Amino acid sequence: MKIYDEDKKLWEKCAAFHGHVCGGLTIGYKAALYAMELLDLTFSSDEQVVCVCENDACGVDAIQVMLGCSIGKGNLLFHMRGKQAFSFYNRKTGKSVRLVLRSGPEGLTRERSFDYYQNCVPQELFDVKDAAIQLPEKARIFDSYFCEGCGERTGANWIRLQGGKKLCLDCYQNYDRFDV
């Protein structure tokens, strides 16, 4: 079953956002479809749906388009592990799932990889596991301060004190006796 048979408009919207079609975009598309089915998810206008991605690859763009997860809203988080794995959370129901891409055929060209992912149903592509990370809290708004080094406004959670001054991470001199 090809993607465009399932929902051509949604697929085209993902492709337009991403800029091209590829196997990676297909992986994110299928992960989002599967999460929608498993957790009864729809597009999130706020933080009702949360996704923690373990990669920053092409598929993340499909998740943004389909589920409304974004860095700015605070419901798209990265737990970089270099894995094609995505944890989805439904705040309304408290349910969550972690989808991990199964190994596919080795040595495929980009075109054959694309065809492979296009022709698989989500259930064939992913192992369904319990989410390993607890549902992250909703995004907070922090006070901000002017860095006394560069003068740029910086969120309070990113300010460090050094020599009696409030410094951003760029101006702060990290102390580590092993990195000399």
For residue 1, is pLDDT > 60? no
> What band does 123 get if pLDDT is binned at 50, 70 and 90?
very high
pLDDT tens column, 23-63: 999 999 999 999 999 999 999 999 999 999 999 999 999 99
Residue that finishes a domain, picked among 107, 129, 151 = 129
If one compares 73 and 4, the residue with the highest pLDDT of the two is 73
Closest CA to 52 of 163, 113, 135, 118: 135
Do both 107 and 145 map to the same domain?
no
Q: Which pLDDT does position 3 carry in this prediction?
A: 47
18 is a domain residue: yes
Instruction: Give the residue numbers spanning the domain of 31.
Output: 3-129
How many Å apart are CA 161 and CA 18, to the nearest integer? 40
Do both 57 and 84 map to the same domain?
yes
For residue 83, is pLDDT > 80? yes
162 is a domain residue: yes
CATH of residue 180: 3.30.60
The total domain count for the chain is 2
Do both 73 and 150 map to the same domain?
no
Query: Which residue carries 């089915």 as its tokens?
Result: 37
pLDDT tens column, 131-160: 999 988 888 888 999 999 999 999 999 999
Do both 9 and 86 map to the same domain?
yes
For residue 179, is pLDDT > 80? no
135 is a domain residue: no
Do both 170 and 88 map to the same domain?
no
Closest CA to 85 of 37, 112, 125: 125
Q: Which pLDDT does position 120 carry in this prediction?
A: 95
For residue 66, is pLDDT > 80? yes
> What band does 8 get if pLDDT is binned at 50, 70 and 90?
confident
Contact, 31 vs 66, CB < 8 A? no
Do both 151 and 118 map to the same domain?
no
Do both 9 and 72 map to the same domain?
yes
136 is a domain residue: no
pTM of the entire structure? 0.83
> What element of type H or E holds 98?
strand 95-101
CA-CA-CA-CA torsion sign (166, 172, 173, 179): positive
Do both 92 and 180 map to the same domain?
no
